[in-house]
């Protein structure tokens, strides 16, 4: 079967779906090719903190209603350090922007809802997706669906297929440069139907990092730093709660309401950037081009800012024949990406106990926390970055 569209979007995660929706608002046709089923995509549990800029963009795209109804607004986040006083990193005070707790799953559900309402084309279980002629004027994507081979011709391809997708790998290796850091630990996360502590709290403790977060008034999300060879089976709920509470100061630990976990998983931590984010008529967005460790919760926010730049560029091309934004897409997106890569790397280093960390490094880190605690200017610098840098005009 032969099909044609203006933009072929590989991947139906938040980046691909949001791009498809925003292109639709701009009068541009797209087809989303997703390898998994919708049910599978919606089962994945990911981070849940949105920058004010992401919230504004989602509202402007008509996706604000559920966000405003269910999202939880915070003045910023807390950092707690062993037995020292907790530090509020106030994005509201220092950057004039609050933060939102709202799960990626809820956003993806909303995106599916509006794409389906608007008659959007999302092909689930698209198998064996291959990109062709991306360096020419008439690119194509082939894939298998329900045993049938299909060809989708298009003007542009958006590679929104995450870190393990096919898009980035379709660029000749000699034309992409990658930058990478793997961290020597992972995060063991659980979701539980218990009332959350109510704030996003990053904790550094001699036993390792921990994080308290939330989805809604009856859904809590917690993480602890774990070794890379940890096995989930070694972490029954009781052991997890016990370890988590030890890593928070007593005043916070006593507020943690425990209960059975409804999800438990281990994720490795990695920083990764591929440059450039364009090859011919292929444009990468979201995790397909970059990964950040979850410390700082920037992954989803970066996917959203990439999509903002990319939809603007594509709309300018189709409406006005102006390619200025297409040509600057990669540079513009990468400036924001590196800002977030740097912040999440810095927070990851500060808050985790590295296996080879010696007493000297631990003291340096404690001193960095003390400096943050004492200096409103240092807090302002961190808050500005945590709040998210503005999108470029």
Among 187, 192, 191, 216, which residue's Cα sits nearest to residue 202? 187
Angle formed by the axes of helices 299-320 and 52-60, nearest 10°: 40
Residue 177, burial from CB neighbour count under 10 angstroms (0-12, 13-18, 19+): exposed
Asked if 105 is part of the footprint of ligand APR (rule: CB under 6 A), the reply reads no
Instruction: Report d(CA 357, CA 172) in Å as an integer.
Output: 39
Is 48 a binder of ligand PHB (CB under 6 A)? yes
Sheet holding 282-284, edge to edge: 121-123, 30-33, 7-10, 156-159, 282-284, 278-279
Sheet of 140-145: strand order equals: 2-4, 148-153, 140-145, 127-132
Q: Which is nearer to ligand APR, 54 or 192 (CB)?
A: 54
Q: Is 132 a catalytic residue?
A: no
Token couple for 38: 């919708």
Which of residues 126 and 383 has its CB atom nearest to ligand APR in the complex? 126
Cα gap 221→218, rounded to integer Å = 10
Measured CA to CA, the distance from residue 298 to residue 53 in angstroms comes to 12
Query: Between 66 and 85, how does the x/- string for binding to ligand APR read (CB under 6 A)?
Result: --------------------
| Contact by Cβ (8 Å): 15, 160 | yes
Residues 113-172 binding ligand PHB (CB under 6 A) are none
Nearest residue (CB) to ligand PHB, 23 versus 211: 211
15 counts as binding ligand APR under rule CB under 6 A = yes
Write down the catalytic residue from 205, 298, 317, 352: 298
CA distance 272 to 178: 7
By CB under 6 A, how many residues form the interface with ligand PHB? 11
A 10 A CB-CB count for 231 gives 9
Q: Which of 5, 20, 54, 104 binds ligand APR (CB under 6 A)?
A: 104
Does residue number 79 form part of the binding site for ligand PHB (CB under 6 A)? no
CA 148 to centroid of chain Cα atoms: 33
From ligand PHB, ligand APR, none, interface partner of 36 (C-beta below 5 to 8 A by class): ligand APR
Separation of alpha carbons 261 and 258, rounded Å: 9
- Could you say whether residue 261 binds ligand PHB (CB under 6 A)? no
Assess 341 for contact with ligand APR (CB under 6 A).
Answer: no
Catalytic residue among 294, 329, 352, 365: 294
Residue 296 interacting with ligand APR (CB under 6 A): no
The verdict on whether 52 is a catalytic residue reads no
Q: Which stretch binds ligand PHB (CB under 6 A): 43-51, 59-67, 277-285, 316-324?
A: 43-51
- 205 catalytic? Reply is no
Residue closer to ligand PHB, measured from CB, 25 or 267? 267
- Is residue 376 part of the annotated active site? The answer reads no
Distance CA 234, CA 205 (A): 21
Interaction mask 29-48, ligand APR, x per CB under 6 A? ----xxxx----x----xx-
x-or-dash string of contact with ligand PHB, 212-241, rule CB under 6 A: -x-------x--------------------
Q: Exactly one of 10, 17, 22, 47 binds ligand PHB (CB under 6 A); which one?
A: 47
Task: List C-alpha distances in Å: 212 to 122, 136, 351.
Answer: 35, 49, 14
Catalytic site includes residue 325: no
Binding residues for ligand APR, rule: CB under 6 A, are: 10-16, 33-36, 41, 46-47, 104, 126, 129, 160-162, 164-166, 286-288, 299-300, 303
- What are the catalytic residues? 74, 202, 294, 298, 386
Binding residues for ligand PHB, rule: CB under 6 A, are: 47-49, 200, 211, 213, 221, 294-297
């Amino acid at each position: 079967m032969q099909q044609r569209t203006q933009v072929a979007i590989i991947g139906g995660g938040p980046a691909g779906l949001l791009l498809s929706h925003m292109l639709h608002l701009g009068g541009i046709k797209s087809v989303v090719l997703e390898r998994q089923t919708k049910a599978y995509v919606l089962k994945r549990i990911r981070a849940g903190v949105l920058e004010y800029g992401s919230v504004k963009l989602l509202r402007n795209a008509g996706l604000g209603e559920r966000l405003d109804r269910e999202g939880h607004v915070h003045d910023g986040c807390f950092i707690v350090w062993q037995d020292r006083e907790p530090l509020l990193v106030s994005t509201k005070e220092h950057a004039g922007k609050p933060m939102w707790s709202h799960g990626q799953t809820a956003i993806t559900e909303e995106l599916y809802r509006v794409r389906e309402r608007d008659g959007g084309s999302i092909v689930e279980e698209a198998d064996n997706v291959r990109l062709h002629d991306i360096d020419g004027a008439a690119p194509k994507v082939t894939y298998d669906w329900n045993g049938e081979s299909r060809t989708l011709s298009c003007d542009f391809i958006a590679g929104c297929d995450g870190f393990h997708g096919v898009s980035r790998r379709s660029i000749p290796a000699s034309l992409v440069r990658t930058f990478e850091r793997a961290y020597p630990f992972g995060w063991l996360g659980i979701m539980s139907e218990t009332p959350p502590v109510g704030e996003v709290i990053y904790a550094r403790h001699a036993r390792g990092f921990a994080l308290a977060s939330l989805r809604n008034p009856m859904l809590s999300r917690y993480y602890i730093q774990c070794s890379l060879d940890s096995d989930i089976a070694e972490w029954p709920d009781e052991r997890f709660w016990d370890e988590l509470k030890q890593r928070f100061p007593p005043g916070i630990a006593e507020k943690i309401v425990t209960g059975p976990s409804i999800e438990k998983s281990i994720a490795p931590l990695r920083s990764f950037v591929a440059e450039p984010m364009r090859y011919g008529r292929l444009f990468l967005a979201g995790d397909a081009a970059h990964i950040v460790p979850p410390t700082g919760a920037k992954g989803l926010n970066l996917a959203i800012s990439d999509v903002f730049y990319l939809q603007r560029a594509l709309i300018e091309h189709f409406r006005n024949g102006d390619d200025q934004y297409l040509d600057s897409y990669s540079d513009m997106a990468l400036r924001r990406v590196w800002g977030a890569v740097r912040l999440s790397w810095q927070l990851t280093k500060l808050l985790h106990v590295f296996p080879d960390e010696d007493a000297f490094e631990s003291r340096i880190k404690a001193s960095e926390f003390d400096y943050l605690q004492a200096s409103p200017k240092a807090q302002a610098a961190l808050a500005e970055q945590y709040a998210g840098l503005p999108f470029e005009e």
